[in-house]
Chain A
Amino acid sequence: MSDAPIYLDNNATTACDPAVVEAMLPFFTEQFGNPSSMHSFGNKVGFALKEARARVQALLGAEHDSEIIFTSCGTESDNTAILSALKAMPERNQIITTAVEHPAVLSLCDQLEKEGYVVTRLGVDKRGRLDLDEYKAALSPRTAIVSVMWANNETGTIFPVEEMAELAHAVGAQFHTDAVQAVGKIAIDLKKTKIDMLSLSGHKLHAPKGVGVLYLKRGTRFRPLLRGGHQERGRRAGTENTASIVGLGVACELAQQYLAYENTEVKRLRDKLEAGILAAVPRCFPTGDVANRLPNTSNIAFEFVEGEAILLLLNKAGIAASSGSACTSGSLEPSHVMRAMGIPYTAAHGTTRFSLSRFNTEAEIDRVIAAVPPVIAQLRKLSPYWGESGPKAESFAPAYA
């Protein structure tokens, strides 16, 4: 059995596909031209961008290639989308989002709230699901933008964004979705939806870091975040990150090819991993909407142990995962997603996310299934909350089921 490191943190970032790297390399050397230039140096690069744009368009099912705007990252796309809607519709002052968004959306909304905008944060139930009635009640003629993630980064829970976009349009609001976790893992066909804007991040789908996309449906009122040159048709000024955009194009083409694989083989490995851990470790449970989530994500809450300690021991065993524990972020509270779902503190600090990719193998999953139970047992042995074979009688009840 090999003991090479096992990477199960693909919702944080992914490895660049070797084919992506290969496609990028010429753009660091002979293909250095500025696509805006008139000469042949620029011209060739311009064609490469056009090709990349078409590949992104294909993966997203966008109707027009001009709906694809290259940005620097998912966060930039999120910020651009929300700020654009507010600027384009100054008569509207409400933002609707969810309590479980990525900080790229939540922190911005917190700031906008301080500046006087009305922010409605939809709650979730204990399985991480939205209440569409609550959403309908929140929509109003004052709503400028609704921003709801397509899939949650921590639990993989999928939100009904297509339906929510229809509802937003009914009150004249724009609809944006942060789809950085969803793209490449679930089928997306934007031309058939009412989604106005969508954020994509390259490094979540085996492209490099530092490149993202904002999908902007034709006809959606838009105000740029960055003004300057005419790049991206004046909607995102700044010389294009050509090598990364070319890489993203290849990554999108590969993502399309592997979409079925993600939903069969990767899903099978994820299910095997989760079932194996749940069977071997007492007092743990999967979080989120397990019947309706990304095929690659499993988030397991281990009761009475702390997540950072789990990660350190897993890391020692050559396994990379992540945690919703407060201690991994330097804050005092465990993950806002776990708290929004009402996961009790006894379990929230021990939530551990395993996120797979097409590069994971069956042998790796077997190794992880074998490695996790002793790690949890070791930490529980150290814990004052844990007795010989379960939580101590005087400790914290009731247990979460």
Chain B
Amino acid sequence: MWEYSEKVREHFFNPRNAGVLEDANAIGDVGSIKCGDALRLMLKVDPATETILDAKFQTFGCGSAIASSSALTEIIKGMTLDEALKVSNQDIADYLDGLPPEKMHCSVMGREALQAAIANYRGEQWQDDHEEGALVCKCFAVDAVLIEETIRANGLTTVEQVAHYTKAGGGCASCHEAIEEILAKVAKETCTAPTAEKKPSPAAVPPAPTSGAAAPTAPKLTSFQRMRKIEETIEAIRPMLQRDHGDIEIVEIDGKNIYVNLKGACAGCMMEAATLNGIQTKLIEALGEFVRLLPASMLGRAAA
């Protein structure tokens, strides 16, 4: 059985705002019965102030899907539409005291329904832009589709590279076989040489076959230039995180390992891995070399 928080269980057993909202003027439908979860979010929006006066939902899905829907309606009631658009899936998960990594997609569905409903109210088209696959890395909640796309986009050939780019496989390492399989699958499609049986040592990372942004071709920076570059890159990202009530600070730069503290809403967030992954990609682009972005809690543990 899943380890659901008390709050998830409580919202599942006693969902708030379940049912049809008769005078809704914003409706968002997401999911499908094929995927095993679907959500209809109904809002009553005050046209004068764009405030959400009431919200109700109907959900087909598992315990966490129903609890996420319930939490979502509680969170957004009384918000203006612009405020509501800032609600992230992590906010929904946090409201429920967290969700198991396999169940984070339930909170994503909630956020998507919200976006769809607001688009519906404003007469816009909302497009579902995310595709998700089977969960591969359970430590950092990374799915197969993300791994495959990252491998393809960056011409990755080793498990270590995948861990650098996506975090997948960077924790307990039990998913390395699955990552190797995805690597082999992509390699086969792109007709590149099959990956070697043995894991190449970190020192001997083969050059990426495509001219991806990550190819280590940039001129070598001095230590000082490199440090400044890292700082600049992080600084440029901070406003984005601050918008989501989070923040980041650099704690230590040790070779290719850059240790940071995620703060505010980012701290302890289960999407931390995705956040770090995004920032790491930007750093790799800026520096023209592989670096690893790690939470400061790992400081001293990874000597590699």
Contacts and interface: CB of A to CB of B under 8 A. Distances in A.
Given A306-B61, A308-B63, A384 B38 contact: yes
Contacts, number: 77
Contact of B34 (A327, A331, A345): A345
A330 B102 contact: yes
Contact of A330 (B38, B58, B60, B135): B135
A258 B34 CA distance: 42
A320 to B, nearest CB: 10
Nearest to A385: B60
B61 A316 contact: no
A309 B66 contact: yes
A37 interface: no
Of B13, B36, B38, B65, most A-chain CB atoms within 10 Å:
B36
Given A304-B60, A382-B15, A332 B134 contact: yes
A102 interface: no
B121 interface: no
Contacts of A315: 1
A206 interface: no
Nearest to A334: B36
A332 B132 contact: yes
Contacts of B66: 309, 382
Contacts of B119: none
A313 B12 CA distance: 9
Contact of A382 (B18, B34, B35, B64): B18
A28 interface: no
B40 A384 contact: yes
A316 B58 contact: no
B62 interface: yes
Q: How many of chain A's residues touch chain B, expressed as a range?
A: 20 to 34
Contacts of A385: 33, 38, 60
A383 B31 CA distance: 12
Nearest to B8: A312
Contacts of B35: 326, 332
A284 to B, nearest CB: 15
A306 B35 CA distance: 11
Given A309-B12, A316-B13, A382-B15, A327 B33 contact: no
Interface in A371-390: 381-385
A384 B60 contact: yes
Interface string B1-43: 1000000010011010011000000000100011111111000
B36 A306 contact: yes
Interface residues of B, number: 31
Contacts of A382: 15, 18-19, 58-60, 66
B62 A308 contact: yes
B207 interface: no
A309 B63 contact: yes
Interface in B131-154: 132-135
A349 interface: yes
Contact of B61 (A327, A330, A395): A327
Contacts of A334: 36
Nearest to A111: B177
A385 B13 CA distance: 20
Interface in A287-338: 304-309, 312-313, 315-316, 325-328, 330-332, 334
A346 interface: yes
Interface string A346-378: 100100000000000000000000000000000
Contacts of B103: 327
Given A382-B58, A385-B33, 15 more contacts: A306-B36, A306-B60, A309-B62, A312-B9, A312-B12, A312-B13, A326-B35, A327-B63, A327-B103, A334-B36, A345-B36, A382-B15, A383-B58, A383-B59, A383-B60
5 nearest A-B residue pairs (beta carbon): A327-B62, A308-B62, A384-B58, A330-B102, A384-B40
Interface of A: 304-309, 312-313, 315-316, 325-328, 330-332, 334, 345-346, 349, 381-385, 395-396
